[in-house]
Structure formats: structure tokens, C-alpha cells
A and B are shown apart, each in its own frame.
Chain A
Amino acid sequence: MANIQLKGVTKEYGVNKALRGLDLEIADGEFFVLLGQTGAGKTTTLRIIAGLEKPTDGQVLIDGEDVADWNAAERDVALVLQQYSLYPRLTVRGNLEFPLKSRIRKLDSAQIAERVDKAAATLQITPLLDRKVERLSGGEMQRVSIGRAIVREPRVFLMDEPLSALDAKLREALRVELKKLHNDLGATFLFVTHDQVEAMSMGDKIGVLNRGKLVQVGTPSQVYSAPLNTFVARAVGTPPMNLLKGTLSGGQAVIDANGFELPVNGQGGQDGQRMTFGIRPEDIRLESGAPVEARIFDIEDHGVVKILNIEVGEHRIHATVPARMPVALDETIRFGWKGDKVLMFDPETGHNLSI
């Protein structure tokens, strides 16, 4: 088990900068999720930690030791990729044994068999052990590649969007299993994803990555309720936070462009200042006596809740309401918001003014 530290890591591919001075710290036994869009540098970060890429600049420390001169094998990390990367023409058992047969490990066949059986039992793939990997389904393949990581008992588990290629149901099931696995093993996990639901539901900590820089690190609830800037605010949560430009005036948010006026109770910002106001969809209330009038533009029924897209002035705002609430397209409704939940961001820098 190990902790990982990245200090000012920069990676350039020609003129492209994949990472720009990335600082990151992952504690021993933590489930750390790196969240970011395509091209944010998530995979590069992972590959640098794994030792498959060398950073252009900066240091990687595992357990406080600079591992710059260690190759991938010496770092003793396990990597699970989105493409299952199982070894072809081998059985499931053959794949699970593969990393253990390395001479460096000096394991005898009984030890190998024991580890393989244990991992197979954990992942419920025991019945598949003698099957060729070509004959497995996507979910089974991913279980096997996770299994191949487990048998090694590595210092760190690195996972590069391991669930992205699976269908929704399997993804959910494996999400739970991975979380459980992390609890059982107590190992350090670094999990990379672009899926914020995955990040929120699995991570002890989330790091939001944007253009090669870490924007914010925190627990899921910290990142969700107190995003450091508008980027994080939009990156976390479905549907994303509503962002509205306007002016703070006498405790009221005055929204631009035929907008509306609603009270704000949060701190930060001065009277008369230009602002970007942020409000989560679930903090918007639809009530008959509410102050603002709007038109329902779109309704998405998710069973538990309905996500409405309402139109007011030139703005479209997402609102989450209970599924029981009767609503119809093009209906005129009235809404308000929870004034204490409104976040205020600097309209220029996007920085959260209440932090």
C-alpha cells in the first residue's frame, strides 16, 4: 500500500501540453477519482504514475520516493484499462496467472493457484476460469482484467475508465463491486473517469482536472456544494448547475436579459457587483405563489424525479422536481429558488466568491 505524490508534473507532446504543473497527493488507502473531460490529461497522469510515460518536468513520488528512474515493472502498480487488454488465446486462468509467473515474484504453483482462486471468487468469475478470453462478454472481460490487477497485490491500483465500455446496468454493478473491493483490500485506488456520476458515487476524494491542471480536490460533497469555480460547478452534477449572469443589488440577484429578480442569502460579493449566479436544479422550487413566471420548455421523466427545462426571458434553466408533480409542456409555471443555496462567481475569472 502506498501514497502517491505528483509535484509540478508537466508533460508535453510536441507543442501540446497535456499536463501543466500538476500537483496531486493521494493518501494511502484512498479511493481517488480524477474527473475531467476528454483531453484534460487524466490518462496522461495515470500513464506517468504507471511509468509508461516520462514527465517532461516534475516529480512523481511513491511512498515519498522519487520513482523517476523506475520503469513500469519496478513501480509495482496495477493498471486496468478501458480496452480490456486481456492476453489473447489464453484462458481466464492463464490471464490471471500471467503477472504471477514473472520470475521476479518467485511464487510456487500452489501460491499462484491460491491467489488466482481467491481473486476469481472475489469477482465471481470462478466458473469462467477455464474459458478462453475470446469467448467472454464485455463485463466478464473487465472482471478478468480487474482480477489480473488484484492477484498481484500491487501497491497502487490505477484504473483508466474501466467501466466506460460497459452497458449501464453492468457499470452500476461493477461500480458497487469496485467500491467493495477497495474496502476489502484497503489499497490505494486512482480511478480516472469523465463520468461525474461515477466520480461522485465512488470517490473518497475527487480531483477535477481541466486542461492539464488540477482545478479542485475534495470530497464529493465538498466539490458538489462548494465548487471552486464555474468549471467545477458545471463538471459535477447532472444536470449541471445553472449559471446566470446578473448583478447583485440589495440582497437580490438581478438577472440580465429580460431576467428576473430573486433574493440571495449567501456571503461574498459586494452590492452592485456584476456576478455569475449559480444554482443547482434541485434548489429551484416550483410553487403557485412563487415570484417568477416561466414556461416549461422540456420535460425529462427520470422516474424518481422530473428534470424540467424552463424558459424565462432569454434563459433556460434546469429544475429538478418530484416525479409526482403534474407538469405539461408549454405550461406557464411560477418558480423561486433557495436563496441560501445560490453561489456567486466572479463573472471574469469564474472564481467562487464565497470561498
Chain B
Amino acid sequence: MSDLTIRNLFIIPTIAFLIIFNIFPLLYSLGYSFTDFRASTNAPANFVGLQNYHYLLTDPFIWRNFTITAKYVIVSVTGQVIVGFGMAMLLNRDIPLKGLITTLLLLPMMLSMAVVGLFWKLLYDPSFGIINYGLGLGKFEWLADPDVALYAVALTDIWMWSPFVMLLSLAGLSAVPKHLYEAAEIDRAGSFYTFFRITLPLVAPIVMIAIIFRTMEAFKTFDLAYILSSQPTAELIAIRLYKMAFLEWQTGMSSAFAYIVLVMVVAITNIYVKYLNKVKER
């Protein structure tokens, strides 16, 4: 076999797969987003132009979903970065059983979202959940309280994904040359000064990457929130989208919705990536 044949043998299946399962549906749904198509009926799809987009972007209820999602992303990612980075700082020293502790701390993120959701539903349970028992909150309804439900979901997400941030931060922290800390010690720098002047600048790029990943993931959170709470105040975009597409069967409308979300995620990611490059340059 020539090099060219081998190359084609590897590339063609991948390209074909990509076209059939990614690019084709992407373009096809773009087409649907300009129609009133419903997958549940036999009625032909009518072209309606930008009507779906216009409707969605002016609908106050949809905007509420976006606000809820934004809140969720901010709370959840911030929490993960604080907890994850903190754990990484604690682990980045010589302690006994460091490897074992690290592995154990990583377990939450290896579980399935659905499993985590079901477990935490039990933990949050108002009558026999251990959280109410532990905090002495009586019959507090974590997941049914409209003010709290979203944050309860975010808390679960923090529990699950902080280890991811920890893992990346730990890699960054252990890559900081030790002699810099020694130099700082001899230069009589305090520990805060050392942290902000040496540790943070060197770890920032890799933490930034963790933040990008977590933001994208949090933005499209579905399973965890869907299993945990059915409160409208905890209805994230992904859940709204799911309902629109598969419960209400508004296929055309939901395609348009999905495109709006896609553009937003790409935009946010771009901002981060730009910032990441700036951090790296400095």
C-alpha cells in the first residue's frame, strides 16, 4: 500500500463520519430553523423566513431561561474554580498518601451525570435527605423552593466538577519552578505577595483553559438539572430546548433556538480564548 492509500484509509472514514453525523445535521437543522416544521406531523414544512428567530429573541420567557442559565454558569463555574483551585493548593505539597487522596477527590467527575443527579436528589430529599438532617433544616425543600432550586443544582455541579479544575490547576502548580519560591523566600516576600506575583501569573493560563471547558459544559447542562429539579426557576436553556423540540414538537422553532445558543457559546468561548492568549503573552 502506498502512503497515499494508507492516508486515505484513515482519513476517509473520519471525514465521512463527521459529514454524516455532524455537518449534515447541522446544515439540515439550519434549514429547518427557517420553517414551521413539526416532526410529529406529516404536514410539509413551510418556509417562514426569520420568523422563528424574531419570535424567540422577543419572547420574555425565553429570555428568562437565558438569565437563569447565565446565573447558573456564573455560580457554578466560580464555585468550581474556587473549590478546585483551593484543593489544588492544598494538595500541592508533600503530604502522605497524596496520590490516593488525589484519586479519591477525582471520583465525582468520573461518575455519570444521571447517577450524580439521582444521588443528590436523595441527599436533598426534604424528609429523609442527609443534608437537611446534617444542617438541622427540618423539611426544607431544596429542589422545590423556587429561590433555591437553581443554586442546589449548581452546588451539585460544583461538587462534581471541582475535581476537574483541581486536576488542571495541580498540573499548573507543580510546573512552577521551585527555585522561584526559594528566590522569593530569600527576597523576603510574604506569602500573599509570592502567591499573586509568582504562583498566579504562572498558573493563570491553565486555569483559564479549565474555565473555558467548564463554561461551555455548564452552558449546555441538561441531565443534572433535568433529573434534580422541575422548578421553572431552574429551567436552563438546554431543558427549555428539549421541551420545545421533543415535548412540544416545534422542530423548526427549536432548531432556530439551538442556533441562537450555538452562536452564544461560540461568542463566549471566543472572548475567553482571546483573553487566554493575552494572559499567555504577558
Contacts and interface: CB of A to CB of B under 8 A. Distances in A.
Contacts of A148: 187
A325 interface: no
Contacts of B184: 87, 98
B264 interface: no
Given A98-B197, A101-B193, A87 B180 contact: yes
A104 B186 contact: no
A89 B204 CA distance: 11
A76 to B, nearest CB: 8
Nearest to A105: B188
B189 A102 contact: yes
Chain B interface, DSSP helix/strand/loop, else mixed: helix
A50 interface: yes
B201 interface: yes
A152 B179 contact: no
Contacts, number: 60
Contacts of A90: 197
B49 interface: no
Interface string B163-194: 00000000000000101101111111110010
Contact of A98 (B177, B189, B202): B189
Contact of B188 (A73, A87, A132): A73
Given A83-B177, A103-B190, A73 B197 contact: no
B187 A102 contact: yes
A335 B163 CA distance: 75
Contacts of A71: 185
A52 B182 contact: yes
B180 A104 contact: no
Contacts of A101: 189, 193
A92 to B, nearest CB: 15
Q: Which 9 A-B pairs have the closest CB atoms?
A: A99-B187, A102-B188, A73-B188, A89-B201, A85-B183, A85-B179, A72-B185, A72-B186, A79-B186
Interface of A: 50-52, 71-73, 77-79, 81, 83, 85, 87-90, 98-99, 101-105, 132, 148, 152
21 contacts: A51-B186, A52-B182, A52-B186, A71-B185, A72-B186, A77-B186, A78-B186, A79-B182, A79-B183, A81-B183, A85-B180, A85-B182, A85-B183, A87-B183, A87-B197, A88-B202, A89-B282, A98-B184, A99-B188, A102-B189, A104-B188
